[in-house]
Structure 1
């Protein structure tokens, strides 16, 4: 399986209150699952982590729970660790001296075997390692080091610990995949763990090292194992082995490195174009791909558009948080318990062309040991990278159980069963949660209870990039009703199911959506068509509303979920006096969203919106975050601002520039470190020429 995290996460520096690791396992039922089935801890499963910044020396990344090497192999597809070692020299026989490419002289130790007497030499400047919250420092290079490569008669060897000239105590390494050895390079006050691979008969040395902390945190979250420590320190799949694939370098990262990583993964039998390759990997090799949803929240429609061609075959994971996470990571103690919620930064659906966008969510925070180079022992890390690693590790345990019990599975059936058993908290929507929180204990039981069913023959095949059902209407429209004819052939291959499709029943979910969505027929006609009607009269202006059509099978229940998005836009015109007022109540978990369309009849190049925010709770101190963007421009957030309410200051003003007749989303939410569960605000929007 693959774990492909988002490049950035949020790092909180070390705190004296963080004295030990914390990796949430209860939310996905991993702790319950392993307490009953301790041997189903990821054994027999390989996880390829496609990321950047790996520390191969970390204690939890040495062995699996069975004693196997935790890391099978390491690859750096960025090229930043490559060293040209094609220059060949021989030693001066009289004094056993080798002159490196830097001009430094090295006395070769007698225990270094080199039958040919030929030494391949190179020169390399490694990058200064840094934490994820200091990416501006990433591209700083350290001083050059001489690299020496040779063949000892049985294997290729390399030494890069040459800064002091004395090689007697320098570590000699060979290809990591052969002996699983690493060393620590002491350079300019940094401790830099590294391993190596030698290519092209000694002419190319690949130095694998972590320039940042990201991959190390992801790898530990997914699969760390600590033989001597408490089980709470372990990752989600302590029995799984991992392959580390670095595609994010300090200077460049691109789809080309991602493509190379996917191709290399096939060489390890891990359970043209990237889209074609991903589809081939999933369908022919039965490999699961877990991808972080991104950290562009809390806006809607912020999952990446480029996923649209493969969203039917990958698992896109958002970040959830709980009271326990807030207590252990943020040191926030809630007086009253609250249900799981979505992290502010976690990207939301809908996806491209109206699809659901997210598949599932998992815990998106850990307290964990970072790599060797920073001074901090522990740090807190949050984001969808953590969530995707948590999900991948949890599902690795599920796969371990299925294999041990000889239960056949495919990517399609895994996604279906996880959908069936996911926990969607009450009154929450699938834009934020996807199908819900992964539940691996329930998923395993579902497989066992349906062991006589061939899921692949019952479940329809999804068509890629088909989009879903999308309605949009302005609040000033006289006619609130929209009707549409839908064909199942838009979403699935219907021909293989022509004999059973006539028995499928259509339903609307959730039941509350029946206030604005109506199915005009409960079965499709002979051409797999049916009609639905959307009515916005009961909807709030400025809102995005979710529903879905469930295609019900007589044996398995729902076998297809077709999302429906109804956008009811607030159109700001002269009729409204270019003004909008609203009273809202905010808590930690639920941001307020407003989708509006300013429509000025008289054109003016400079327009603005004055936003007045009044806190109705007097003499309180809290922080609000506001964001806005032009919808569909999801790669860049136009404005982010934190508003601090202090005692005796109940009103704050904020101004944003406005483009005429563009669709905007405005979002306001409490920052997580505010101390109030529910606060009421009065919002007033005034649109005007600047």
Structure 2
């Protein structure tokens, strides 16, 4: 049976061009590769670092824009401060060292904070929580618990089973027992809220830029400085443990920072099916490798990647603003009433179907 295994599966085999007759169309019309077409991917978000989503065959950026329509990545950066001796105090209380390479003619910085776990997909959050517990919490907690138990045992041994304790000794023993009880309960009931990052936004004289203190130490020269994605098509990575890529958009004169990070892998998957381009391995190409895309996140990371009506409305506004030619929307749940409700009415207002004879 091993001789019958299709060695191309599951790499090329997961894109069934043959079964859908797409390969016949591509063979017949090789020049029709989607060049000049803009496709909106309404989904969990699209990873800007994914293979196949870097450029088109003509060298244009594959991803035109990345947008979080859910609000899960929004940061209030309306607090404005000025640096003192090259340092600003973040809202976390950390001292943030301003790199000498930053250009800020006004000297003003918009600051805010973001809880990292609000950006994580559920699977990633579960993994990181487990790793943090095993690497950071458990070793120190076990030492503290063992030490408190030992102190209590030593006290009991010294006082011969606590038969005739003075009032003062009783208080001491109750305190030692309370320490053991509290540390034991901590292990069962503690909640890890995750890292909290300082966020900095400023205008460099030409455009708005943002930096997220992923160092958690105020060492901003070690962190990525980004403009809105549509301007420079740059992105950063939180760290090498979570491998979560992110981009930013800046709104309201620096008062709102939008951090775009995927709520799951589905959006990247369908983006590659739609328009992935692998110059060295064309068999992996999507159906329209020449097309460009915008990734619009409608799956809220705070809701387990569930979409909301608000996110869909915002997404359609962006689709119209970008004058997209097509929308890929393989997302959603069953509805009680078909083709009804606010979202459907807005979709019908925005979408025009043209019949070509």
TM-score (norm 2): 0.69
Which of 306, 313, 324 is the aligned partner of 1:259? 313
The answer on whether the counterparts of 1:125 and 1:142 sit within 8 Å (CA) in structure 2 is yes
What is the deviation of 1:292? 4.2
* Distance change (3 Å), C-alpha of 1:62 and 1:73: same
Separation of aligned partners in 2, 1:294 and 1:148: 35
* Distance change (3 Å), C-alpha of 1:70 and 1:306: farther
Q: Does 1:85 align with 2:138?
A: no
What is the deviation of 1:192? 1.3
> Aligned with 1:74: secondary structure?
strand
Match of 1:198 in 2: 250
The answer on whether the counterparts of 2:96 and 2:217 sit within 8 Å (CA) in structure 1 is no
Separation of aligned partners in 1, 2:87 and 2:121: 32
Mapping for residues 201-212 of structure 1, pairs under 5 Å: 201-212=253-264
Match of 2:273 in 1: 221
Q: Does 1:116 align with 2:168?
A: no
Separation of aligned partners in 1, 2:292 and 2:247: 17
Separation of aligned partners in 2, 1:293 and 1:165: 39
Match of 1:516 in 2: none
Separation of aligned partners in 2, 1:72 and 1:141: 34
Match of 1:27 in 2: 19
Match of 2:181 in 1: none
Unaligned stretches of 5+ residues in structure 1: 1-15, 272-287, 296-302, 315-409, 415-454, 456-690
> Aligned with 2:274: secondary structure?
helix
The answer on whether the counterparts of 1:81 and 1:126 sit within 8 Å (CA) in structure 2 is no
* Distance change (3 Å), C-alpha of 1:142 and 1:55: farther
Q: Does 1:250 align with 2:304?
A: no
Match of 1:179 in 2: 232
Match of 1:169 in 2: 222
Query: What do residues 281-325 of structure 1 show as CA deviations (whole Å, max 9, x unaligned)?
Result: xxxxxxx55554978xxxxxxx755443579x99xxxxxxxxxxx
What is the deviation of 1:238? 0.8
Q: Does 1:411 align with 2:325?
A: no
* Distance change (3 Å), C-alpha of 1:130 and 1:225: farther
Separation of aligned partners in 2, 1:208 and 1:36: 39
What is the deviation of 1:19? 6.8
The answer on whether the counterparts of 1:293 and 1:304 sit within 8 Å (CA) in structure 2 is no
Which of 309, 328, 339 is the aligned partner of 1:308? 339
The answer on whether the counterparts of 1:61 and 1:224 sit within 8 Å (CA) in structure 2 is yes
Match of 1:420 in 2: none
Separation of aligned partners in 1, 2:252 and 2:113: 17
What is the deviation of 1:412? 5.1
> Aligned with 2:301: secondary structure?
coil
Query: What do residues 342-366 of structure 1 show as CA deviations (whole Å, max 9, x unaligned)?
Result: xxxxxxxxxxxxxxxxxxxxxxxxx
Structure having greater relative contact order (Cα 8 Å, sep ≥ 6): 2
What is the deviation of 1:167? 2.3
Which of 319, 322, 334 is the aligned partner of 1:268? 322
What is the deviation of 1:151? 0.7
Comparing 197-206 with 36-45, which one deviates more in the overlay?
36-45
Separation of aligned partners in 2, 1:17 and 1:164: 46
Q: What root-mean-square deviation, in Å, do the aligned CA atoms of Structure 1 and Structure 2 show?
A: 3.0
Separation of aligned partners in 1, 2:11 and 2:217: 37
The answer on whether the counterparts of 1:147 and 1:162 sit within 8 Å (CA) in structure 2 is no
Which of 90, 97, 101 is the aligned partner of 1:100? 90
What is the deviation of 1:186? 0.8
Count the aligned residue pairs. Answer: 273
Separation of aligned partners in 2, 1:224 and 1:269: 21
The answer on whether the counterparts of 1:62 and 1:70 sit within 8 Å (CA) in structure 2 is yes
TM-score (norm 1): 0.37
The answer on whether the counterparts of 2:39 and 2:327 sit within 8 Å (CA) in structure 1 is no
What is the deviation of 1:262? 0.9
What is the deviation of 1:141? 5.5
